[in-house]
Amino acid sequence: MAAYYREAQRRLCQIVLAGGTQRAGAEGSLVELLQAGHSARGMSNQPEHAVYSGPSAPSPRRITLRTLRDKYKRGEPISMVTAYDYPSAVHVDEAGIDMLLVGDSVAMVVHGHDTTLPVTMDEMLVHCKAVEVSPEQAVQSAIRMMKEGGMDAVKIEGGFTNRARAVRSVVEAGVAVMGHVGLTPQAISVLGGFRPAAQSATEALRVIKEAKALEAAGCFSLVLECVPALVAAALTREVNIPTIGIGAGSGTSGQVLVYHDLLGMMQHPHHAKVTPKFCKQYSAVGAVIQQALSAYHADVVGGQFPSEAYSPYKIAQQEASQLLRDLEREGLDGAAEAVVEQLEARREAAAARAE
């Protein structure tokens, strides 16, 4: 949809800059442009087959809040992964994961901070997620996330009174909200660091009440982070919306882990120290990536890459000979010498293949 609107806008600008109504008449009305735009190749949205190759991806299945509610009613576990970019999102989607959360953990996992606090709203817009502080700002930021970030919902941490009001304001503005209780990383300065939550009866009761308040405010789901399994199970039984656990035992409606954590991408010492205890690593992708990068480096240094197989773009012999004459005529001796060397290498390679 966005691609053909951009194409229509681009063509309309061409009409205006040309300054002629006859041109506009020939191009057609804006409505006609929008209707026809879906068949146009808008700027660089679609790759040229002469440069890029590869299979076309199937359209992803659409998961909606109704889908999640139906799974919750049927008692089916809900899966969620936290990721921050397009390649990761493609992997998550192809694995059949129900939800993808673009979380503020990007500050630690991607940007290298020790906590999630340094991440800004503009940075989160790049990664498509917001963290709010007041009802008014919450509404403004949520709307930005929907319009600029292309999100289907936003997540708001905490269930105390002011945060519940923020949730209600956002929901009343027409934006779906996922709540978050237990360990709330954006509040670690108050909590005294990354500490498990609800480990006393008093604190557990408070977390359950916060969850109830967020449900009443209109949240469609809740993340429960770093709370005892007993507390998470009790909370899940008490509310009538799905709960997604992270370090909260198996009694929740579903689970979430961070993409980089579960794939074992954390090879650097900084990442090792921020990988949570509750994360099960399903692979050692980081080691594979490191091996691949080292092999690439060795091939480049040793002159093995790129080989002929990875130098696919050719200039015809006739054109190359003409280029050589032109370079010699212009006095560009260095370039001419390089062309001669390349042509000789091409002949030697052809002779070797013929043997």
CA dist 270 and 279 (Å) reads 16
DSSP-derived secondary structure letter, 281: P
Question: Cβ contacts of residue 40 below 8 Å, gap of 6+?
Answer: 4, 7
Q: Dihedral (C-alpha) 58, 63, 64, 66: value to the nearest 10 degrees?
A: 130
Q: Answer whether 101's CB lies under 8 Å from 155's CB.
A: yes
Count CB-CB contacts under 10 A for residue 70: 11
Q: How many helices (H) and strands (E) does the chain have?
A: 17, 7
Question: Known catalytic residue: 225?
Answer: yes
| Three-state DSSP class for residue 113 | coil
Among 157, 153, 108, residue whose Cα is nearest residue 131: 157
Task: From the candidates 32, 225, 319, 348, give the one annotated as an active-site residue.
Answer: 225
What is the distance of C-alpha 237 from the center of its chain? 32
- The radius of gyration computed from the CA coordinates of the chain, to the nearest angstrom, equals 28
Upper half-sphere CA count for residue 352 (Cβ side, 13 Å)? 7
Count CB-CB contacts under 10 A for residue 132: 26
Q: What residues are paired with 257 via a beta bridge?
A: 81
| Three-state DSSP class for residue 191 | helix
CA dist 354 and 350 (Å) reads 6
**Strand order from edge to edge, sheet including 78-82:** 99-101, 78-82, 254-258, 243-246, 221-225, 177-182, 154-157
Residues labelled catalytic: 225
